[in-house]
Chains A and B, each alone.
Chain A
Amino acid sequence: KAGVTQTPRYLIKTRGQQVTLSCSPISGHRSVSWYQQTPGQGLQFLFEYFSETQRNKGNFPGRFSGRQFSNSRSEMNVSTLELGDSALYLCASSLATGNQETQYFGPGTRLLVL
């Protein structure tokens, strides 16, 4: 079974540009969550999508947005990039079965904003 895939793996952008990151969850997983990881702030939750609907949202500005498609693939968009957006962006897919939940993370997209 293929794991969570994220594309691209590395990205360099300049301030003011926008970027779109993609995440393909494990087959059968309908929940996709996005996280930002930086040395200074650690891991921060961005948002979660389930069946094409945003179910939960963290404390990030509106420049950060996302969506989920009918095949559960998800994209995250960051507009008007700032230097502080440089980070590792992680995507995770989840499957809840009864009281058990499994969650798998992708390798991440490392974004550098210059």
Chain B
Amino acid sequence: AQSVTQLGSHVSVSEGALVLLRCNYSSSVPPYLFWYVQYPNQGLQLLLKYTSAATLVKGINGFEAEFKKSETSFHLTKPSAHMSDAAEYFCAVSGVGNEKLTFGTGTRLTIIP
């Protein structure tokens, strides 16, 4: 069985500040981990994906995430928030080969001007 927990359904940060969105996973097998973003009135996009290669994964739009096995975490970060980052972010986990992809409940990110 596998699951992800996203801490904080709503996160607000000031423009230019660090963005940190938290995700902890539970998996009985080595996981694949994902971050997705859904901008207002747009479809989902894959931000980045961890597949047991490098533990620090770089994604689109300046986002990155670090896989920490000891903490069972895969937090998403961006050094400096832009207004355009306002969106809903989903963490997800699967077994090897995208088996039974399981999503978190999402974190809505608000950027304060």
Q: Mark B21-51, 1 if CB is under 8 A from A, else 0.
A: 0000000000000000000000111100101
Q: How large is the interface on B (under 10, 10 to 19, 20 to 34, 35 or more residues)?
A: 10 to 19
Query: B101 touching A58 by the CB < 8 A rule?
Result: yes
Chain B, 35-71, CB within 8 A of any chain A CB: 43-46, 49, 51, 53
Smallest Cβ-Cβ distance to A45: which chain B residue: B101
- Size class of the A contact interface (CB-based, 8 Å): 20 to 34
Q: Which of B43, B51, B99, B100 contacts A106, CB < 8 Å? A: B43
Question: In angstroms, how far is the closest chain A Cβ from the Cβ of B40?
Answer: 13
A33–B46 CA distance with the chains assembled, in angstroms: 13
Contact with B along A13-55 (1 / 0, CB 8 A): 0000000000000000000010100000011110010000001
**Residue pair A108, B101 in contact (C-beta under 8 Å):** no
Q: Among the listed B51, B98, B103, which residue makes an inter-chain contact with A43, where contact means beta carbons less than 8 Å apart?
A: B103
CB-CB nearest in chain B for A100: B49
Q: How far is the CA of A106 from the CA of B99 in the complex (A)?
A: 20
Binding site for B on A (CB under 8 A): 4, 33, 35, 42-45, 48, 55-59, 90, 92, 99, 101-108
